Structures are given as C-alpha cells and as structure tokens.
Amino acid sequence: MDDVRIDVSGLRKQYGDVVAVDGLSFTVEPGRVTGFLGPNGAGKTTTLRMLLGLVTPTAGSATIGGLRYTDLAEPTRIVGAVLEASSAHKGRTGRNHLRACCITAGLPRARADAVLDLVGLLPAADRSFKGYSLGMRQRLGIATAMLGDPRVLILDEPANGLDPEGIRWMRELLQGLAAEGRTVLVSSHLLSEMQALADDVVIVAAGKLMRQGPVAEVLSSVGGDARVHARTPEPDKLSIALRQFGGTVTPEGPNRLCVTGMAAEAVGDAALAAGIALHQLTTEQPDLEDVFLDLTQAKAAIR
Amino acid sequence: MTRLVRAELFKLRTTSLWWLFAGATLISTAVMLAVNLVQAHELLQPFDKFVALHAHGRNVAQMPPEFLNRLRGEWELGHSAVTQAATIFTAGQLIGVLLACLLGIVLITSEFHQQTATTTFLFTPHRGAVIAAKLVTAVIVAAASWLASTVLALVVGAIFLGSEGYGTQLGQWGVVRAILLNLAAYAIWAVFGVGFGALIRSQLAATVAATVLYLVGAAAASGVFDLLYTYVIKQDWILTAQVIVPSVASTVMISPTKTFDQSPAQWVGAAVLLGYGVVTALAGTRLLRTRDIS
C-alpha cells in the first residue's frame, strides 16, 4: 500500500434537522498537501471524523486506499490523525501517553522517543500533559499521529495554538512528508496559512463542496485574471495604448493604472511600442482569501 | 486483545488513580478488620463471659430478660469459628467491592471525561474490542485488589484466630467458599461498573448513581418491598424478590447465613448479580458502538 488516496463520495451527516455535511464528494491525492477549507461550522470536522470512523455517516462513503477506516487491519500504520489538541489524559506524561499508544498498536516502545524527537518535545517528555501549552499539545498530537509512520496524515486545524515559528515548522514538516509520497489532508479556516502550505484545496461551505483542485487553478477559475499594476509618467497615453490591445484599465491614483485582461509582458510590450516610459510593473495574483470569501459568502456559518 | 489489555493496564498504572484505589481498598480492609476482630473476640467467648462484657460492670442478674434474649440470639449466630473466620477473611468487602465497581466505571467514563476517547478509538476502531479489553482489565484489577485485601486479612486473621485457639480455619470449606465468593463479588461488580459507565457516560453521574445504588439500594429495597408485602400482595415471595436489587443480590451471594428471613439461596444472588453484570456490559457495548465520538 504505497500510494494511498482518500475518496469521499456523497457523504452526508444529519443531526436532527441540521444537515452538517450535505452530499460531499472529493478526492485527496498522494504526494500532495491538500487543504480542507471552510468557515467555522462548514462541516469540516464532522467530515474528518466520518473519514476516521468516529462518526457514522447518514449516507455516502469515505474511504482511505479503498477501505473504510474501520476495515483497516492496522489503522495507525496507514493513517495518522490529529483531531483535537487535548486528547491525552491530563495526569499522564507525554512519553507515557505515547507508550500506551505504542502498546495498543503493537509498535516498539522506542517509537515514543523517536516521535518526541521529531516534534521537538523530548525535553518535556516526562512532564504531565496538564502542564503542556496549546502548542505543545498540538506537537504531541502530531507525534501520536506519526507513531505508526503512516502513509496518510489527517490534521484538523493543526495551526491552532501554534506560534509563527511553530506554524512554519509544521508547514515544513507536512510539505516534507508529502514530498515523500504521503497523502496529507489539513483542515483550516486560516486562509493565508493554507495558501503557503497546500498544493490542492477542497473548499466547503454549509456542508457542501464549493470548489476542488490545485490552488492556482481554483484561484484563476474564481478570482478572474491576475491584475497588473503599472506606474508611468504618462498614464493617459498608456491607457489609450492598452485599450487598443483589449486591456481593461482603471486609474489608481496619480501616475498609476490597474490593468486586467492583459499579462505584465503584454503591458510592457504595448508601452514600448507606444514609446511610453514605465517606472514600475507588478502582477498581483488573486488572493485565496478573496476566492474563499467569494465562494462562501451568504453561507451562514451558524446553522 | 492482549495488546489492548496490556495498554489498559499501562494506562491505569501511569496515572495516580490506581494509588487512590489501592490505598482506599487497604485502608477500608484494615478498618473493617479491626472492627471484625473486636466483635469476633467477644463472640468467641463462652456465653457468660460474652454477657459480662456487655453488662459493662453491672450485675448480670439484674439484666432485663429481653436484653438477655437478644444477646443470646446474637451469640448463638456468631459463636462459631467458621462464621468468624469467614467474616474476618473477607473484611473490607463492603467498600472494596464498591471500589471495584467504581474502578470499572472510571475505566470507561474517563475516556470521555479526559477526552481520550478520540485517540483510543482512532487506535482501535473496533469499539467492541476496546470495551472487551476494559472488562478484562477491570476483572484483573478487581482480582488484584481482592488479593491485596485478602492477604492482609488472612495474615492478621490467622494470627488472631491462632491466638484465640481456633487455628486458621482454612481447612473449612465454608471459610474457603466465603473467600472465593468474595472474589466473585469483586469481579462481577467490576464488570457491572464497566457496563454502567458505558451506559451513563458522565463520570460524576455514573459514580454517584452507582454508589447510591450500592449503599442505599438494600435499605431502600427493604422499605419498598415491605410496603408491597404489607399493602399489596401479602405473600412471602414478594420479600424474597428483593434479591432483584443488585446490592441485595450481592449480599445474598456472599452471606453463608440468611440475609433476611425470606432470602433465597446464595446461587440465586450470584445469578442475579451476574445477570446485571452481563446485561449492563452488553447494553453499554451496544450503545457505545453506534455512538458518534465528537
């Protein structure tokens, strides 16, 4: 089982009158970091818990390598999951928490120290869990997930409670794991972090799939074209020249223009042909946040 | 399965919980042992000395005949080395059995109380296996606390009985049976605890409910069944039916003598208690298997 794909198909979960997840379908590919994005209450956690056999779906299926989580013979050697930062006994030390997990999964106890080292928690290994900061708890959660050296990693809001340095550490760790061919699925409502971390995104709102695909593709499909900002001493002449090439031009204050419908190269060439000096030319990619707000707008987070 | 039981025992060992339970079991055994030894010392005396002890220096001849009769009844029931040995060697049972039950409850409710259920069920998605491991663990730990309590009681009790001139009494089947039934009580209550904990997820609610059921159950049952007998159906089997209350069943099971006038045979108590253990464990498992963990 080397390349393990996650398949979610027609997944639905209903609590009384509330439909938390509504016919959700998407796939997560190996060798890539997939961001699972949505506002709070979009059904991300419920989806991940259904994927991991903790919550029973009302309908549909969620499989890992073609099997339901509960049908995996040694689940922790295939899938590692971090679902909440506080899932260890308060009175137990970090090392003993991991050792108990090793015994359960039939792994050598030495794995406990190996993963503590991996997440940088060795110095705090013999402190009880209640004294851990939120960031340390997240690291212990990642350590727990890594015990079985799994091919798939599933993380629910792992950036919560991490400081900027911790977030960078986690990003490098997850990207490194994906580069080894592992399948990484990370949920978040923090978009800026996801833009730096993910290769693919799955965007959900109100329990429904909004968009799925590689980050760049999703951005261009929704956010429209990139915008080009040009600074020139002759904005009026440049406007006329660019409109001849089909660009849409809007003034942006003194000597500055915003161009859409043309790439930066085309803007530069047009200026050269018209003999107009350019003092600055920058391209602005649409922001994931804009796309996200666009897509999830009017989907009330609280249902 | 062995892995899961080993993990449960490891988890138990790595928190302060087991210290609390071991300490409480030994203390309750020691206290009850002291009380039982004093009583046994009195009851094993010849009747005139027993009466003299209860007269507190007053003239025995002036004692009211009702009081004397009551003392005679008490003495006749307890003036037996076998009865006293059985009582001494099972000292601390009242609280020890309750502790075994509470341990069973905590084994399962702490998963929710400490929010470790997610990790536990991620590592073992087959919830039935998790509960089975907890049942086995509860029985192992209950047997261990029975052993600790019994060893303490055996050592002190054997020395005491020897000094009173009765030997250890361990050759008597009645005594050995009492010790073994005590083990059964520990084990069944622990199983009952796990099932009860699975049914009532709240740690506080489950422990309080079980303690009340255990400690007050017998008295409450006695009152209710007496009322039923007096006002509804005046037949002896109504009083016998008290045995359906778990704590009454437990007492009936472990008492060599009759617990109350209409009490059924010991095996009836054992069957009822075992039934409760099995039913709560099965119902708890069934409930937990389909419950969403969030």
> Taking CA atoms, what residue in B is nearest to A142?
B119
Instruction: Catalogue the long-range contacts made by B51-55 (C-beta closer than 8 Å, 24 or more residues apart).
Output: none
Which of A72, A103, A126 best probes binding to B when mutated, by most B CB atoms within 10 angstroms? A103
Q: Are residues A165 and A257 in the same domain?
A: no
Q: Are residues A40 and A175 in the same domain?
A: yes
| Window from A45-49, A257-261, B144-148, B184-188 with minimum mean pLDDT | A257-261
Q: How many folded domains does chain A comprise?
A: 2
The secondary element (H helix, E strand) that includes residue B119 is: helix B117-123
Whether A292 maps to a domain, the answer reads no
CATH number of the domain encompassing residue A277: 3.30.70
Q: Are residues A276 and A131 in the same domain?
A: no
Instruction: Quickly state the pLDDT bin for A209 (edges 50, 70, 90).
Output: confident
Are the C-beta atoms of B15 and A92 separated by less than 8 Å? Answer: yes
Q: Are residues A113 and A181 in the same domain?
A: yes
CATH number of the domain encompassing residue A38: 3.40.50.300
- Provide the mean pLDDT of chain A: 86
Q: Are residues A278 and A153 in the same domain?
A: no
If one compares A297 and A162, the residue with the highest pLDDT of the two is: A162
Distance, in angstroms, between B8 CA and closest chain A CA? 8
Rounded Cα–Cα distance for residues A152 and A67 (Å): 13
| Window from A131-145, A174-188, A213-227, B155-169 with minimum mean pLDDT | A213-227
Length of chain B measured in residues: 294
Q: Nearest Cβ partner of A55 from B115, B126, B293?
A: B293
Give the start-end residues of each E strand in A83-165.
152-156
Q: Are residues A275 and A199 in the same domain?
A: no
Instruction: Quickly state the pLDDT bin for B226 (edges 50, 70, 90).
Output: confident
pLDDT at A295: 67
Determine how β-strand A200-205 pairs with β-strand A33-37: parallel
pLDDT at A97: 92
233-292 in chain B: CB under 8 A from chain A: 290, 292
Q: Are residues A113 and A244 in the same domain?
A: no
Cβ of B294 within 8 Å of Cβ of A45? The answer is: yes
Whether A1 maps to a domain, the answer reads no
Are the C-beta atoms of A201 and A37 separated by less than 8 Å? Answer: yes
Q: Is the dihedral of CA B264, B265, B266, B270 positive or negative?
A: negative
Residue type, B236: D
Query: Taking CB atoms and an 8 Å cutoff, what residues of chain A touch B290?
Result: 56
Whether A148 maps to a domain, the answer reads yes
Cβ of B114 within 8 Å of Cβ of A90? The answer is: yes
Whether A172 maps to a domain, the answer reads yes
Q: Are residues A52 and A142 in the same domain?
A: yes
| Domain of residue A143, residue span | 6-221
Whether A302 maps to a domain, the answer reads no
pLDDT tops 50 at residue A7: yes
Q: Are residues A276 and A140 in the same domain?
A: no
Q: Per 3-state DSSP, what percentage of chain B is helix, strand, and coil (rounded to 5)?
A: 80, 0, 20
Q: Are residues A217 and A233 in the same domain?
A: no
Q: Are residues A87 and A33 in the same domain?
A: yes
Whether A155 maps to a domain, the answer reads yes
Distance, in angstroms, between A265 CA and closest chain B CA? 52
Q: Are residues A168 and A189 in the same domain?
A: yes
Whether A296 maps to a domain, the answer reads no
What ipTM was predicted for this assembly? 0.80
> Taking CA atoms, what residue in A is nearest to B115?
A87
Give the CA count within 13 Å in the CB-facing half-sphere of A277: 5
pLDDT tops 70 at residue A128: yes
